[in-house]
Amino acid sequence: MAKRAKLKKTIARVGYAPLSYYEESGAIRFGKVTWFVHNEAGGREYTSNANGETTEVYADGMSIYTSDENHGYDIDLTLVSVIDDIDVCWLGNEVDENGVVAEFANNLERPRFALIIIEDTTDGIGMTHIWYNCIVPTRPNFSGKTSDDSGFDPQFFDVSVQARPIGTSKIVYARLPQKTTFNELPLPSGSALASFSLSGATLTPAFRSDVDTYTFAASGATVAVTEAVPIAPNGFVTIKQNDDTISIGDAITVASGAITVTISTSIAGSESTRTYTFTPET
């Protein structure tokens, strides 16, 4: 597992990748990543606010169920300035060869894009934030004022961005433990288990999504997988013992050997798999 980043120091880079989403097929395609030049549209600050509602159910005087509906994020982003890339690829305006920007009241949906913000951290590793399905829902406001003898008062570009789930995977956001730039947008595989339980047995170590190999001590001759939930909503789980496919709740003979749980996912046309192995103690 990668070393975890520590305290955040500063925004290091801001970029985006154009997004094409085909509703009928559900296919997602991202264009090449564009990184803003520091003195043209470098990042000043941002705030990413979670969008969604929490549902909590009580029984017998206690909370027994909590559900967080993930509707994405609402992002307030401040950049040094608005540039042609933003006018065309974020706002849907037209820019001619002379640099003239034209805005039309055509009521068309604005372009969609992935927003990328890289931050440096105190341990030098950094972190990269990616919101995969972004749109600027309203036209940005702009204003100006005169200079006076108090000195130069720089004006910056503020934009509100909506980041929402997209596609069958419902992917919203990813955080990478790195601060290096890239040309192709990285996509998380989602090939991991969010939770797993094996009745009639004790796992060593206790289950964690990032640990692939376990042993288990069974209290009887059989055990059963009672839960195997993938992190990605479109993850496909296959449970096997040797060549035999097993369903949730089936009795599994301990003496017959290790149990494997394989998760397969496809996000934006990228296929990935991951296998967890549970071996009985001898």
Tell me the per-residue pLDDT of 136-152, one tens digit each, with 9 for 90 and over: 998 888 888 888 877 77
Cα 28 to chain centroid distance, Å, stands at 14
pTM of the predicted model over 0.85: no
Strand partners, 265: 272
pLDDT at 243 over 80: yes
Strands, sheet with 252-253, edge to edge from the N-terminal-most edge strand: 193-199, 222-230, 252-253
Q: What's the pLDDT score for residue 155?
A: 86
Q: What's the pLDDT score for residue 33?
A: 94
What's the rounded Cα separation, in Å, for the pair 232 and 192?
A: 8
State the pLDDT confidence band at 124, using cuts at 50, 70 and 90. Answer: confident
What's the rounded Cα separation, in Å, for the pair 237 and 37?
A: 44
Q: What's the pLDDT score for residue 186?
A: 77
Mean pLDDT (the chain) is 86
Please state the φ and ψ torsions of residue 176, each to the nearest 5 degrees.
-105, 140
Q: Where are the domains of the chain?
A: 8-176, 193-280
Token readout for 196 is 């797993």
Judge contact between 12 and 121, C-beta under 8 A: no
As a whole number of Å, the end-to-end CA separation of the chain is 28
pLDDT at 119 over 90: yes
Q: What's the pLDDT score for residue 1?
A: 46
Strands, sheet with 236-241, edge to edge from the N-terminal-most edge strand: 201-204, 213-218, 270-280, 259-267, 236-241, 244-246
Contacts of 97 (CB under 8 A, 6+ apart): none
Token readout for 179 is 């601060």
Which tens digit of pLDDT belongs to each residue from 55-100? 888 888 888 877 778 889 999 999 999 999 999 999 999 888 888 9
Instruction: Please state whether beta strands 222-230 and 27-30 pair in parallel, antiparallel, or not at all (unpaired).
Output: unpaired
Burial class (CB in 10 A: 0-12, 13-18, 19+), 279: middle
Which tens digit of pLDDT belongs to each residue from 15-58? 999 998 655 555 678 899 999 999 999 999 999 999 988 888 88
- How many other β-carbons are positioned within 10 Å of the β-carbon of residue 190? 24
Give the gyration radius of the chain's Cα atoms: 24
The percentage of residues in the chain with a pLDDT greater than 90, rounded to a whole number, is 48
Q: What's the pLDDT score for residue 80?
A: 94
Virtual CA dihedral for 37, 38, 39, 45, nearest 10 degrees?
A: 130
Among residues 222, 229, 227, 234, the alpha carbon closest in space to that of 266 is found at 234
pLDDT at 190 over 70: no
pLDDT at 233 over 70: no
Cα 49 to chain centroid distance, Å, stands at 14
- What single-letter amino acid sits at 211? V
pLDDT at 250 over 60: yes
pLDDT at 254 over 70: yes
